[in-house]
Amino acid sequence: QLLVSVATPGCDGFPSLDSKESYQLSVSEGSMLLSADTVWGALRGLETFSQLVGRDENGMYYINQTEIVDFPRFPHRGLLLDTSRHYLPLRAILETLDVMAYNKFNVFHWHIVDDPSFPYESSTFPELSKQGAFDAVTHTYSASDVRRVLEHARLRGIRVLPEFDTPGHSLSWGPGAPGLLTPCYLGKSPSGTYGPINPILNSTYEFVSSLFKEVSTVFPDFFLHIGGDEVDFTCWKSNPQISAFMKEMGFGEDYKKLESYYIQRLLDIVSSIGKGSIVWQEVFDNGVKVRPDTIIHVWKESSPPYLEELANVTRAGYPALLSAPWYLNRISYGQDWMAAYQVEPLKFEGSPEQKDRVLGGEACMWGEYVDVTNLTPRLWPRAGAVAERLWSNATVRDLQDAYLRLADFRCKLLGRGVQAQPLYTGYCEHEFGG
Amino acid sequence: GCRGYPHIGSSEAYHLTVTEPVAVLKADEVWGALRGLETFSQLVHEDDYGSFLVNESEIDDFPRFAHRGILLDTSRHYLPLKSILKNLDAMAFNKFNVLHWHVVDDQSFPYQSIYFPELSDKGAYSYNHIYTPADVRLVIEYARSRGIRVIPEFDTPGHTQSWGKGQKDLLTPCYNGQQPTGSFGPVNPILNTTYDFMTKFFKEISSVFPDAYIHLGGDEVNFDCWKSNPEVKEFMKKQGFGTDYAKLESYYIQKILDIVSSYNKGYMVWQEVFDNKAQLKPDTVVEVWMGNNYAHELSSVTGAGFTAILAAPWYLDYISYGQDWKKYYSVEPLNFPGSEEQKKLVIGGEACLWGEFVDATNLTPRLWPRASAGRNVTNLQDAYERLSNHRCRMLRRGIAAEPVFVGYCAHEARG
């Protein structure tokens, strides 16, 4: 019997960025003890324990004598799923959370809405999904769906970080919220198409305030990801009211200033609701005045190189997350897990204080070419390389050794019913669909 | 006749007339009827009230190319039967008519031979990673009833590491100076025992697989081991091959080709066999797979009077980010310098899904709908819409085809 001892009792709360996930595991003849400060550490230890148990040819379960003291290198170890480019049925999300737990991932970054579709059923603005989902009946997440995800995640020590990306990436918001998006112009008349959220109207900020109030009560985590990436200025530039506003505000021709004006107000709204913000790197790059505890999410591989960006962000005093080299949706032929594994997030010039500001990172599975038919094999075991990079000590980087362990882990995943794809030629005792 | 097997000369033409009160499907052969039934099934659509409808139609259809294949590799990774059968279904939905079964290779030998059971006993990944004679029969019959030919490939003399485990002295022992290193190279072309074995082995293959053709491989033979072996070097001298090991390779291939034709089978070979100037029978089918300048190779092969099939631009195992179906779609196989007669010798092509990084966990989404794009060239936007619809159709039919781009299907994939 495995004895589990948790110093700080309590299983009813939610994990947070500050949760302690350390644990100790002692296995010897006659005694097996797992001890941790918190239940979150116990969960990590239980996962390790489950991976240490083997089965011999006679069907007997066994475990080697072992002494383990373990704790994560980075506190934020996330996986991003995109449910806008393609809807993902609930079971796909829940299964992904299971496998995240096997890999000790602890943040589910839910990029829930974007240009193509708005599957989130908002209680304040039900028209958003009614008009914006691919199909309002079959391709949405109800309040109870969301609660299921939150609880399924919580029980695995996984934080759910929702992202409502604005002012760009928001075309699907338009149909259900008339007047929210900027009408583009062709000369003097509206062209009929729309662009990013309209930053010059008071109604915009009332809307956004109400929506984020709702989001902040639905999602218990302290942090909200508010996006802020890839804003295309073409539509703003074409709109005469916006041009007038630019003049009024003295922004000249610099639309980055308009973008920053919007983001600033949004960040203020979010902090007035008592939440912390995570933003994509453009917000920092564009010189927006953000609060010192705003987390900057580095996603661009170059211009500047991501290590340089991490250095800049942390030197300016901000905490950072790294995703740039971990866009798992960017598939290529061969063992691309190796490149992900060899990333060293702290390989930049900086003080120890700076390095401490790198909170971790996230593997991203953007959804342009991904849905439930190929999500699991595309995620696993490749994401496992990122998981280890974020949990284990920086010295754990031998590729040969990692290959053997990851290949073995992949077979274990198959045994647990996960449709994880192969790393290279070979076999598992029990194949998928065998 | 529904009892025969499809072959390269089978007629797949059909005529479909949909009017009131009956629709009529006519075809010369049952294979054409199968293709017409597939088309008919795709014409049926559901309206918003759940009624099934077909538009009045008149269709006269036949394939441009008679050989439309998919290559599956069951050596780099074992593929459970269910996965192979599922893909035969998907092939039928896409009117593919050849399963090129690359059944064994270096890594494993899953084919359970009746004459040489040691081959899979010692060469398969494990006892659970084997195709029994019953399994093989099931694949052949499942394919046949979908109008799909099964062409097995037993690739030699290279790509044969796994054969050596269960058949001693089949592979060439490599040498370091005067000492054997303990490792082995391609099939040993200088021993009579090699040809005795192959004679018996291909006798079995010829009777197990009913198709008129067997694929004999012949690609990527690495000469290093042969060059290191003193007996092989001696043989080269005796034969007057000098240091041209391509001659030794051709010597071997020649004998295998003769063995196989003695069983009244035609053969398919990878392009090296032609490139290295082996003496091929006129009905040999040469498979062009090398990526650089395959148009030139098609010219050469057909110029020499041989039938060709094209695989080079359709290596679907070479995944990349984005809508790569477009480049598969844009391939025009007959875009090579040559006469009308030469162009007629290109009988089709194959989409290849080599198995280094593929097994049953990711085969279906990796193959479909990308393989569906090996189609006729019309225009890309129209193709995109039809491909996306077809992808949703495959989902409805239980094929986990991956998305083409952003969007959705009314009926998403089930668990």
Residue-wise pLDDT for B284-313, tens only, equals 999 999 999 999 999 999 999 999 999 999
Q: For residue B410, is it within any domain?
A: no
Q: Is B365 on the interface with A (CB under 8 A)?
A: yes
Looking at the structure, do residues B222 and B349 belong to the same domain, yes or no? yes
* Res B119 pLDDT > 70: yes
Looking at the structure, do residues A340 and A382 belong to the same domain, yes or no? yes
Looking at the structure, do residues B37 and B72 belong to the same domain, yes or no? no
Give the rounded percent of residues in chain B with a pLDDT score beyond 90.
92
Look-up: residue for tokens 């003049």? Answer: A247
Looking at the structure, do residues A41 and A87 belong to the same domain, yes or no? no
Q: Which of B47, B62, B77 is the last residue of a domain?
A: B62
Q: How confident is the model at residue A433 (pLDDT cuts 50, 70, 90)?
A: confident
Number of domains in chain A: 2
Looking at the structure, do residues A239 and A225 belong to the same domain, yes or no? yes
Q: How far is B362 from chain A (nearest CA, A)?
A: 6
Q: Catalytic residue numbers of A?
A: 230
Q: How confident is the model at residue A9 (pLDDT cuts 50, 70, 90)?
A: confident
Residue A223 CB: number of other CB atoms within 10 A?
22
What value, to the nearest 5°, has the Cα angle with vertex A378 and ends A374 and A382?
A: 165
Answer yes or no: are the C-beta atoms of A182 and A194 closer than 8 Å.
yes
Number of domains in chain B: 2
Q: Which residues of A touch B321 (CB under 8 A)?
A: 329-332, 369
Looking at the structure, do residues A140 and A46 belong to the same domain, yes or no? no
Q: Which residues of B touch A371 (CB under 8 A)?
A: 402-403, 412-413
Looking at the structure, do residues B182 and B284 belong to the same domain, yes or no? yes
Compute and round to an integer the Cα radius of gyration of chain A: 23
Residue B292 CB partners (closer than 8 Å, separation 6+): none
Closest CA to A313 of A345, A269, A268: A345
Residue of A nearest to B395 (CA): A373
Residue of A nearest to B367 (CA): A374
Q: Which domain holds residue B44?
A: 1-62
> At B388, which amino acid appears?
S
Look-up: residue for tokens 């990013």? Answer: A196
Q: Is B361 on the interface with A (CB under 8 A)?
A: yes
A73-97: average pLDDT: 98
Q: For residue A231, is it within any domain?
A: yes
Residue-wise pLDDT for B124-134, tens only, equals 999 999 999 99
Looking at the structure, do residues B184 and B39 belong to the same domain, yes or no? no
Q: For residue B213, is it within any domain?
A: yes
Looking at the structure, do residues A13 and A157 belong to the same domain, yes or no? no
* Res B410 pLDDT > 60: yes
Q: How far is A337 from chain B (nearest CA, A)?
A: 12
Q: Which residues of B touch A93 (CB under 8 A)?
A: none
Residue-wise pLDDT for A375-414, tens only, equals 999 999 999 999 999 999 999 999 999 999 999 999 999 9
Q: How confident is the model at residue A258 (pLDDT cuts 50, 70, 90)?
A: very high
Separation between Cα atoms, residue B383 and residue B363, nearest integer Å: 23
> Where residue A326 sits, what CATH number does that domain have?
3.20.20.80
Q: For residue B170, is it within any domain?
A: yes
Look-up: residue for tokens 């010692």? Answer: B122
Q: Which residues of A touch B355 (CB under 8 A)?
A: 425
What's chain B's average pLDDT?
A: 95
Looking at the structure, do residues B257 and B147 belong to the same domain, yes or no? yes
* Res A329 pLDDT > 60: yes
Q: What are phi and psi of B104, to 5 degrees?
A: -130, 165
Looking at the structure, do residues B329 and B341 belong to the same domain, yes or no? yes
Q: Is B48 on the interface with A (CB under 8 A)?
A: no
Q: Which stretch of DSSP H or E encloses residue B145?
A: none
Residue-wise pLDDT for B60-113, tens only, equals 999 999 999 999 999 999 999 999 999 999 999 999 999 999 999 999 999 999
Separation between Cα atoms, residue A213 and residue A274, nearest integer Å: 10
Residues B220, B332, B341, B385: which is the catalytic one?
A: B220
Looking at the structure, do residues A66 and A82 belong to the same domain, yes or no? no
pLDDT of residue B1: 75
Give the rounded percent of residues in chain A with a pLDDT score beyond 90.
97
Cα distances (angstroms) measured from residue A243 to each of A200, A250, A256, A288: 10, 11, 13, 20
> Where residue B46 sits, what CATH number does that domain have?
3.30.379.10
Give the rounded percent of residues in chain B with a pLDDT score beyond 70.
98
Q: For residue A280, is it within any domain?
A: yes
Q: Is B376 on the interface with A (CB under 8 A)?
A: no
Q: Which residues of B touch A334 (CB under 8 A)?
A: 357
Q: For residue A425, is it within any domain?
A: no
Closest CA to A70 of A384, A361, A319, A388: A388
Answer yes or no: are the C-beta atoms of A425 and B107 closer than 8 Å.
yes
Looking at the structure, do residues A31 and A168 belong to the same domain, yes or no? no
A316-323: average pLDDT: 98
Q: Which residues of B touch A407 (CB under 8 A)?
A: none
Closest CA to A116 of A379, A283, A366: A366
Answer yes or no: are the C-beta atoms of A424 and B357 closer than 8 Å.
yes
Residue-wise pLDDT for A289-301, tens only, equals 899 999 999 999 9
Decide: pTM greater than 0.90.
yes
A81-97: average pLDDT: 98
* Res A311 pLDDT > 90: yes
Q: Do B415 and A139 touch (CB under 8 A)?
A: no
Separation between Cα atoms, residue B358 and residue A26, nearest integer Å: 39
Looking at the structure, do residues B33 and B135 belong to the same domain, yes or no? no
Residue-wise pLDDT for B268-289, tens only, equals 999 999 999 888 888 899 999 9
pLDDT of residue B414: 67
Q: For residue B403, is it within any domain?
A: no
Q: Is B132 on the interface with A (CB under 8 A)?
A: no
Closest CA to B194 of B152, B236, B252: B252
Q: Which domain holds residue A25?
A: 3-70
Looking at the structure, do residues A110 and A217 belong to the same domain, yes or no? yes
Separation between Cα atoms, residue B106 and residue B101, nearest integer Å: 15
Residue B204 CB: number of other CB atoms within 10 A?
16
Q: Do B406 and A425 touch (CB under 8 A)?
A: no
Q: For residue A434, is it within any domain?
A: no
Q: Is B390 on the interface with A (CB under 8 A)?
A: no
pLDDT of residue A353: 97
> Using CB atoms, which residue from B128, B402, B410 is nearest to A369?
B402
Q: Is B318 on the interface with A (CB under 8 A)?
A: yes
Q: Which of B36, B62, B88 is the last residue of a domain?
A: B62
B350 is catalytic: no
Q: How far is B398 from chain A (nearest CA, A)?
A: 10
Looking at the structure, do residues A82 and A61 belong to the same domain, yes or no? no
pLDDT of residue A289: 86
> Where residue A49 sits, what CATH number does that domain have?
3.30.379.10
Residue of B nearest to A327 (CA): B321
> Using CB atoms, which residue from B319, B323, B401 is nearest to A373?
B401
Q: For residue B323, is it within any domain?
A: yes
Residue of B nearest to A378 (CA): B362
Q: Which residues of A touch B77 (CB under 8 A)?
A: 422, 425-427
Residue of B nearest to A419 (CA): B361
Looking at the structure, do residues B73 and B56 belong to the same domain, yes or no? no
Structure tokens that stand for B77 in this block: 């990774």
Looking at the structure, do residues B35 and B176 belong to the same domain, yes or no? no
Q: Is B83 on the interface with A (CB under 8 A)?
A: yes
Q: How far is A76 from chain B (nearest CA, A)?
A: 27
Q: Best interface-test mutation with B: which of A117, A301, A328, A431 has the largest number of B CBs within 10 A?
A: A431
DSSP letter (8 states) at residue A420? P
Q: For residue B414, is it within any domain?
A: no
Q: Do B412 and A426 touch (CB under 8 A)?
A: no
Q: Do A372 and B357 touch (CB under 8 A)?
A: no
Looking at the structure, do residues B136 and B15 belong to the same domain, yes or no? no
ipTM: 0.94
pLDDT higher for B63 or B413?
B63
SS3 (DSSP) at B302 = helix
Residue of A nearest to B108 (CA): A426
Q: Is B135 on the interface with A (CB under 8 A)?
A: no
Residue A80 CB partners (closer than 8 Å, separation 6+): A109, A110, A111, A323, A362, A363, A364, A365, A366
Separation between Cα atoms, residue A336 and residue A385, nearest integer Å: 10
Q: Are strands B307-310 and B346-353 parallel, antiparallel or unpaired?
A: parallel
Looking at the structure, do residues A21 and A93 belong to the same domain, yes or no? no
Q: For residue B363, is it within any domain?
A: yes
Q: For residue A432, is it within any domain?
A: no
Looking at the structure, do residues B289 and B365 belong to the same domain, yes or no? yes
Q: For residue A427, is it within any domain?
A: no
Q: Which of B11, B34, B62 is the last residue of a domain?
A: B62
What value, to the nearest 5°, has the Cα angle with vertex B234 and ends B230 and B235?
A: 120
Q: Which of A70, A90, A122 is the last residue of a domain?
A: A70
Separation between Cα atoms, residue B260 and residue B201, nearest integer Å: 10
Count interface pairs A-B at CB distance under 8 A: 125
User: Please, which residues bridge with residue B173 across strands?
Assistant: B184
> At B351, which amino acid appears?
A
Q: How far is B319 from chain A (nearest CA, A)?
A: 5
* Res A247 pLDDT > 70: yes
Answer yes or no: are the C-beta atoms of B89 and B369 closer than 8 Å.
no
Q: Do B406 and A427 touch (CB under 8 A)?
A: no
Looking at the structure, do residues A66 and A101 belong to the same domain, yes or no? no
Residue B84 CB partners (closer than 8 Å, separation 6+): B72, B74, B139
In DSSP notation, A26-53 reads: EEETTEEEEEESSHHHHHHHHHHHHHH-
Answer yes or no: are the C-beta atoms of B266 and B284 closer than 8 Å.
yes
Q: Is B127 on the interface with A (CB under 8 A)?
A: no
Q: Do A333 and B412 touch (CB under 8 A)?
A: no
Answer yes or no: are the C-beta atoms of B218 and B274 closer than 8 Å.
no
Separation between Cα atoms, residue A160 and residue A221, nearest integer Å: 7
What value, to the nearest 5°, has the Cα angle with vertex B68 and ends B64 and B69?
A: 170
Residue-wise pLDDT for B197-241, tens only, equals 999 999 999 999 999 999 999 999 999 999 999 999 999 999 999
Looking at the structure, do residues B28 and B91 belong to the same domain, yes or no? no
Looking at the structure, do residues A44 and A80 belong to the same domain, yes or no? no
